[in-house]
Structure 1
Amino acid sequence: MEQKSVNKTNSNAYTFIFAIVMVVVVGSILAFAATSLQPTQYENMRQEKMQNILATVGVETERSEAEGLYRQYITEEIVLDSNGDVKEGVKAFDVDLAKEIKRKKEEQNFPLYIADVDGEKFYIIPLRGAGLWNAIFGYIALKDDVNTVKGVVFDHLGETPGLGAEITQVWFQERYADEKVFDESGNLVGISAPKGAPSTSKDDNRVDAISGATITVDGVSEMISERLQHYLAYFKAQSDINVPNN
């Protein structure tokens, strides 16, 4: 009886030690794999960001070719402070809006990308806001009148498939092309997507909504108008830009 008890104790100890060893080994392998993949993941994120910025001005590209085309078409990267003044020592591409929007407005950095595509100038502004379940984000490109939209790209972290997640679809994003962000009185109002109010004009500051995705689409409208407001002072200060109501 005593011998069986000793054997059982030894067996339990062996199982416990084996489990610990396996956890350590597997954990070490996963940690090594994650560390090894970090440079690749970071590079993929960089290239995807370039792809999205380029897409707003109609330049579609594979990820592997994104950096070359980005250097070709993006002529300036600047960062503005809350007064619309250009900041030195901060790289626009490195600004993380997920962190910036948690700071006070006076402390935020506002990145701006300027593109030249076939002689046309565009201003590309990063966007970030809140959807139904999580963050939504993207980019909006304005033509050189800083009123007319050239294109947009939207994405999300966890919206409902078939509903709010549809903001990523090309057919929805194309609705924003040639829309105006200033109203007829020269006020910066952005672009809304009111439920049950179909858009019939490119001058009415609105697009058709997505059925069943009211909160997410309202979040898109809010982030456009909120983010654009931060750039208004800069645009008004530029002598070569005729800002509405300026």
Structure 2
Amino acid sequence: MNRDSNAYTFIFATIMVIVVASALAIAATSLQPMQAENVRQEKMQNILTTIGIDVERAEAAEQFNKYITEQIALRADGSIDKDVNAFNIDLAKEVKKPVEDQLFPLYKASVEGQNFYIIPLRGAGLWDAIWGYISLEDDVNTIKGAVFDHKGETPGLGAEITQSWFEERFKDEKILNDNGEFVGVNVMKGYSGGNNKDDNAIDAISGATITGDGVTDMIKDRLAYYIEYLKTQKVNVALNN
């Protein structure tokens, strides 16, 4: 075949596309197990971070099994689905379902004799999805820690929700008001409460109002489905003491 012909060029280009595509497909398939394991370890790492356990990703599984005492899949009515592994629940898919069909994963942890409840979060920022984890102390009111992440928030603005200085603002904040009613935590623009941990509010990120509102809504919307179950846990703790 004439190498200068259009037919030769077309055939050569087609063969190269097939070869490269096949190589990329093989590489992607072979890397899938490693990528899945990295995602699993990072998830464990984030859950542990909310209760003050900072570990390298490679050590996350071992420490997760050490501190996480129970994994629960709740229904919207507060009942437990014992046939579902809470760790495998994909919130990105769950939040698209009707509430009555959703599952709500919950992790119980124990660190040096103190119990914690860790709740996964999922919501919407300015440009795309935001998510994270928040842990509550035994009183099911005081926040122990929080971790946030995002898909496409603006660097230097909404993307700052991943920074430790923002996440630390939630530590010791309350999710119930003085009357014991669930109100969540308001990420408030122009907040002037200083270090007040009892006003259910923290200072927002400058220039990221919509993302901050997304965090506010995410916490309130997701935790609302856990409150009744958590109150039963609080009663059990009181009875046991």
The answer to whether TM tops 0.5 is yes
Q: How does 1:1-246 map to 2 (within 5 A)?
A: 11-200=5-194, 201-238=196-233, 239-241=235-237
Larger radius of gyration: 1
**AA in 2 matched with 1:194:** M
**AA in 1 matched with 2:115:** K
Q: Is the 8 A contact 2:146 2:171 kept in 1?
A: yes
Between Structure 1 and Structure 2, how many residues are aligned?
236
Structure 2 CA distance for aligned equivalents of residues 224 and 60 of structure 1: 23
> By how many angstroms is 1:194 displaced?
1.4
The structure-2 alpha-carbon separation of the partners of 1:7 and 1:76, relative to structure 1 and needing over 3 Å to count, comes to closer
The structure-2 alpha-carbon separation of the partners of 1:199 and 1:15, relative to structure 1 and needing over 3 Å to count, comes to same
Q: TM-score normalized by structure 1?
A: 0.93
Q: TM-score normalized by structure 2?
A: 0.95
> By how many angstroms is 1:241 displaced?
4.7
Q: Is the 8 A contact 1:235 1:241 kept in 2?
A: no
Structure 1 CA distance for aligned equivalents of residues 53 and 88 of structure 2: 22
> By how many angstroms is 1:185 displaced?
1.3
Structure 1 CA distance for aligned equivalents of residues 100 and 237 of structure 2: 25
Stretches of structure 1 lacking an aligned partner (at least 5 in a row): 1-5
> By how many angstroms is 1:7 displaced?
5.8
Structure 2 CA distance for aligned equivalents of residues 96 and 124 of structure 1: 16
**AA in 1 matched with 2:130:** I
Structure 2 CA distance for aligned equivalents of residues 35 and 95 of structure 1: 23
Structure 2 CA distance for aligned equivalents of residues 7 and 34 of structure 1: 36
Q: Is the 8 A contact 2:140 2:231 kept in 1?
A: no
Identity %: 61
**Over 6 Å off, 4+ runs:** none
Q: Is the 8 A contact 2:72 2:86 kept in 1?
A: yes
Relative to structure 2, which stretch is displaced further, 134-143 or 81-90? 81-90
Give the secondary structure class of the aligned counterpart of 1:186.
coil
The structure-2 alpha-carbon separation of the partners of 1:150 and 1:85, relative to structure 1 and needing over 3 Å to count, comes to same
Structure 2 CA distance for aligned equivalents of residues 241 and 165 of structure 1: 38
Structure 2 CA distance for aligned equivalents of residues 100 and 181 of structure 1: 23
